[in-house]
Structure 1
Amino acid sequence: MGHVISLPDLPQRIISMVPSQTELLFDLGLEDRIVGLTKFCAHPKPQVKQKAIIGGTKNFRFDAIDELKPDLIIGNKEENYKEGIEQLQQKYPVWMSDIYTLDDALQMMQQVGQLTGTEAKARELTQGISTGFKSLQPAQPPITTAYFIWRKPYMTVGSHNIIDHMLQRCGFQNAFADLARYPEITQEQLQQANPQLILLSSEPYPFKKKHVAEFQEICPQAMIKIVDGEMFSWYGSRLLHASAYLRQVIEEVKQEP
């Protein structure tokens, strides 16, 4: 957003506007300095329940934020909304991330470490994540894949986002990479794309086993799997566990007839 912030001291009252970055802040050991987070910040489980809620990622409660008197707000360009962030920037230091790849995520973690005086812990986290992903062997040959994030209307994942990047790391060739970042598609488009693999994400739409038959009817030849959306889309410290999960998904896909 072209906005520069300056922090005279290490922040002591931090608000996080993004679930995956909230989890990162806790994993950096900043629990005592986190004062507010969104209603979607689900991890780490009991700790987030102790913190004030400042609304959602795309509808902030400015009165609640003002009461918390933050000295640093951490957001993300895709997950938050520009007008709300610009309003906050008039009063508070707001630091924004913009994540499309694993390298972007690792850089974000190091920068958050610098902002909060937790560089050593951030370095330890990023090294662990890098090591995990270096050993991730993509499927060969690549498997044509459609990754769904919504139902009614059907929404899938296009290019230029972290999920598409994770699919590539797995050797899953995105069937809709030539469309918008998160395109709505029809049954006919899905049939035409004829993917070998359909992944139904657990979030933001909570796809369950009962939805598999619906997609199997549209694409009888496709292999269909429910996957943990956090492992494909959360770009904070959850990436420490993502490589092992993705390795398991690749193995399961390769073993199915």
Structure 2
Amino acid sequence: MACANVTHTHHRKTNVPLVHGAKLANYLRPMRVVSLVPSWTEFLHDLSVDVVGQTKFCVRPPEAFRRVPRVGGTKTADVEAILALKPDLVVANLEENDREQVEALQEALPSSAEVWVSDVRTVRQAWQSMEELGQRVERSHEAQRMTLAIQENWGEPKPLVAEAGYAVWRAPWMVAGHDTFIHDVMRWWGIGNAVAPDLPGRYPTLAQEDVHGLRSADTWLLPSEP
């Protein structure tokens, strides 16, 4: 007996109330998602979500970067371009995106759509947010499976073996403070934060002499950007 190839796609109906005012229609269609957060964009593509718009910094996966329309930067999102894509869900982050732009989107989007804003400051919060976003895009099982795989790979927090500073910006020098996701990831892998915990702000600004004065740092960690 010949068997037809069947592709299973997650769909939803409209005009039935859903969470946070999102509604289902009288017809079936995939959820349309715009992501303004590079890390969440990659996660959404891994979940096979229909990402219809993303920022110019959402470079992974490369195939999606070439294919998916870009809607500006993480802090310079094009609100009109996003609205034109008619998203059901816009994914944002409290730290990474511009608050005024996020609020403008919340005001301009129809009641059938929502803006989901994450605020991740610890490793465990990241895992919780992965599962929450998976629920939002109707991929709960896949998100839970990915989260569990990461948890098994990371194991438990490691003993402290080194001290390091983590610079997030130059001119002026800005470093990751203690109330940040970066700090928690470092600590998880046994790397203490050489930046004093009492410095003001989550990303303190340091003068050049202050950077040289962090003598407890065994090394400095630098992101690929900037």
Deviation at 1:70, TM superposition (A): 1.0
Q: Which has the higher strand share?
A: 2
> What do residues 136-156 of structure 1 show as CA deviations (whole Å, max 9, x unaligned)?
63443xx22211122222221
1:251 matched residue in structure 2: none
Structure 2 distance, partners of 1:204, 1:118, is 31
How many percent of aligned residue pairs carry the same amino acid? 35
Q: Which stretches in structure 2 are left out of the alignment for 5+ residues?
A: 1-18
Deviation at 1:67, TM superposition (A): 1.6
1:111 matched residue in structure 2: 132
Deviation at 1:49, TM superposition (A): 1.5
Q: Which has the higher helix share?
A: 1
2:45 to 26, 36, 48: 26
Output the TM-score relative to the length of structure 1: 0.72
Output the TM-score relative to the length of structure 2: 0.81
Displaced runs of 4 or more, over 4 A:
none
1:122 matched residue in structure 2: 143
2:186 to 147, 157, 167: 167
Matches within 5 A, 1:53-202: 53-92=70-109, 93-134=114-155, 137-140=158-161, 143-176=162-195, 177-179=197-199, 180-202=201-223
Structure 2 distance, partners of 1:110, 1:68, is 25
Cα 1:54–1:71 shift into 2, 3 Å: same
Deviation at 1:196, TM superposition (A): 3.4
Structure 2 distance, partners of 1:66, 1:146, is 40
Structure 2 distance, partners of 1:192, 1:95, is 41
Question: Which structure is higher in RCO with an 8 Å CA cutoff and minimum separation 6?
Answer: 1
- Would you say the 8 A contact 2:167–2:223 is kept in 1? no
> What do residues 42-76 of structure 1 show as CA deviations (whole Å, max 9, x unaligned)?
11112221011111111111221122111111111
The alignment's C-alpha RMSD in Å is 1.8
Q: Which stretches in structure 1 are left out of the alignment for 5+ residues?
A: 206-257
Task: Tell me which structure has the larger Cα radius of gyration.
Answer: 2
Structure 2 distance, partners of 1:186, 1:90, is 40
3-state SS in 1 of match to 2:167: strand
- Would you say the 8 A contact 1:144–1:174 is kept in 2? yes
- Would you say the 8 A contact 2:160–2:187 is kept in 1? no
- Would you say the 8 A contact 2:34–2:51 is kept in 1? yes
